[in-house]
Each structure stands twice: as C-alpha cells, then as structure tokens.
C-alpha cells in the first residue's frame, strides 16, 4: 500500500454566462489523474503553466472539491471532507506555497504563524508551545529573534523557511510543495531545497513536489509525472524521464 493513492481525479470548473447565468462551458483543469506516492519519497509533478498542477494539489489536500475520482490515504478514502476529519489527514498532510508573502498572514508575528497548526491540532501549554516554535525555527536555521517579527521583515528565502517550519510543525507524513522555490534567486533556491531534503531525511516526510522547472525536479524527485492539459501524459523514474523520454510533450519540455 502506498502512502497516498490518487485515482482518476477530476476537477472541472463550470463557466457560467449569458442572461440566465447558465453553465455554458466547463474548464477541465484536472481530467483523470492517477498516481501513487510512497512513504519517504519525493514525487514530482511537472508541466507548463495551466496544465493543472496546482488544482491537482488543492484537490488532494481538500482546498478544492474533486468532481470525481478518489484520494486514498493509508488505505482510507479521504476524498470527502468528513472522512478527512475522521482521521488525522489535515494534520498529516501539509502544504508549502510558492508565494510566501501572500501565504503568510502579514499582520501576524512569526511566533503565531508557526504556532497556528500546533494550536489547531495539539493542545500545548504556552511554554511548551514557545519551545516547539523555537525548535522549529532552529531546524530551518532561523534564530529566536525571529519570534516577534512580521513576514515583511524577512527575505524571500527566509520566508520560505518559515513556510517550511509551519508545514513541519505537526510532524506531517506528506508535504505538498507547490513551486516552493520558483520565486527565489538561484542561490537561495539551492539553500531552501537542501533544507527540504534534510528535513525529509530527519522526519521521514514524503513530498509531492510541483514545478515547471525540470532542473529543480531532477535534483529533488525519485519519480515524476508529466502533466499536460489536465492529464498525465508520462510517468517514470528520474532516469526514465530524463534519459529516455517517451512522450512528445516530455521531449519538448526537456528541449
Ligand atoms: N477556479 C477556477 N475556475 C475556472 N478555471 C480555473 C480555476 N482554477 C484554475 N482554473 C483553470 O484550470 C487550469 C489549470 O490551472 P492550474 O492553476 O491548476 O495550473 P498549473 O499547472 O498549476 O499552472 P500554474 O503553474 O500557472 O499555477 C487553467 O486553465 C486555469 O485557468
């Protein structure tokens, strides 16, 4: 059994228009996507802008409703919100976003931002909570003086580390990282990616790693799926995809 199994997942958006506001068309953002992620691996989801990567991620974590298909986590069907609530899914599966400035609440101090998932899922005393937040900051290489600062007081790379600290706060099994380094300078990208790898080794986390950047994916991922127009057109190991691409779309991406 894999950690998570995605089967024939579809997310279709109705487009409404005209005087009666009827459904005039549908956007098939995700149109029948199937893949598995094993415990401890980094699974890459690659494709151009608009191919449906983010929508796939949101449907897996429950930010977007699946039109059809299933998501099975440790053998349990978590496609519906009520089933996700029954097990620890919302604690076990966390997300890191591309744009840390808009995904971190600008009015909250770093202490509160990182403590938020702890407050939702664990009921720690004030002292224990602060200790955990300090440990998490330390893990991502930030000092105790960060506690009382606000997101805008950090660089993009530091903010991404704060996003990583928040994501690992509840000891998740899977982190969905949607273009986690795309907004960063090359030198800072490497730093954040190496952090993510270290945390993966230390905590035994799996990643669903979403990117349009094939260099970054090659550095990070064991298995890769290539997405185009809402569908997966090719899957394989890193070597399969980079050394022997089969699909014309994959060849084009690599070129
Ligand atoms: N709420 C929505 N309503 C209608 N269409 C949507 C909605 N969200 C996404 N789409 C469309 O679904 C398609 C897939 O979008 P998605 O954001 O998943 O792609 P992506 O591969 O993640 O691209 P990017 O890297 O640019 O975010 C796009 O054509 C997009 O315009």
Residue closest via CA to ligand 1's atom 26 equals 49
- In tens digits, the chain (255 residues) has pLDDT values of 899 999 999 999 999 988 888 988 999 999 999 999 999 999 999 999 999 999 999 999 999 999 999 999 999 999 999 999 889 899 999 999 887 777 889 999 999 999 999 998 888 999 999 999 999 999 888 999 999 999 999 988 899 889 989 999 999 999 999 998 888 888 888 888 998 999 999 999 999 999 998 889 999 999 999 999 999 999 999 999 999 998 999 998 888
Q: How far is the CA of 64 from the centre of ligand 1 (A)?
A: 11
What pLDDT does 200 receive? 94
98 Cβ below 6 A of ligand 1:
no
Nearest CA, atom 12, ligand 1: 29
| CATH number given to 4-100+174-254 | 3.40.50.300
Q: Identify the residue whose tokens are 């298995």.
A: 223
Give residue 235's pLDDT: 95
Q: Write down the ipTM of this complex.
A: 0.94
Report the separation in Å between the CA atom of 44 and the middle of ligand 1, taken as the mean of its atom positions.
Answer: 18
Per-residue confidence (pLDDT) for residue 128, from 0 to 100? 93
Please name the residue whose Cα sits nearest to atom 14 of ligand 1: 52
Q: Which atom of ligand 1 is nearest to the CA of 57?
A: 18
The response to whether residue 159 sits with its C-beta less than 6 Å from ligand 1 reads no
- The atom of ligand 1 lying closest to the CA of 56 is 18
């Amino acid at each position: 059994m894999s950690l998570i199994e995605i089967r024939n997942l579809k997310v279709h958006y109705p487009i409404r228009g005209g005087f009666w506001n009827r459904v005039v068309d549908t956007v098939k953002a995700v149109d029948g996507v199937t893949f598995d992620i094993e415990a401890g691996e980094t699974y890459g989801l690659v494709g151009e802008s608009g191919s449906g990567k983010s929508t796939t991620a949101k449907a897996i974590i429950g930010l977007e409703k699946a039109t059809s298909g299933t998501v099975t986590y440790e053998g349990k069907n978590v496609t519906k919100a009520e089933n996700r609530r029954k097990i620890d899914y919302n604690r076990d599966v966390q997300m890191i976003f591309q744009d840390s400035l808009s995904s971190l609440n600008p009015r909250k101090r770093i202490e509160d931002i990182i403590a938020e998932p702890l407050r939702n899922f664990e009921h720690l005393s004030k002292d224990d909570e602060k200790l955990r937040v300090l440990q998490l900051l330390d893990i991502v290489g930030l000092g105790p003086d960060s506690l009382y600062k606000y997101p805008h007081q950090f660089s993009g790379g530091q903010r991404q580390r704060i996003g990583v600290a928040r994501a690992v706060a509840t000891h998740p099994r899977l982190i969905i990282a949607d273009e986690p380094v795309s907004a960063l300078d090359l030198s800072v990208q490497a730093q954040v990616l190496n952090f993510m790898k270290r945390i993966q080794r230390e905590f035994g986390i799996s990643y669903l790693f979403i990117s349009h950047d094939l260099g970054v994916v090659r550095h990070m991922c064991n298995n890769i799926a290539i997405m185009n127009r809402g569908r997966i057109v090719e899957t394989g190991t890193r070597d399969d995809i980079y050394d022997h691409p089969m699909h014309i779309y994959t060849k084009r991406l690599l070129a």
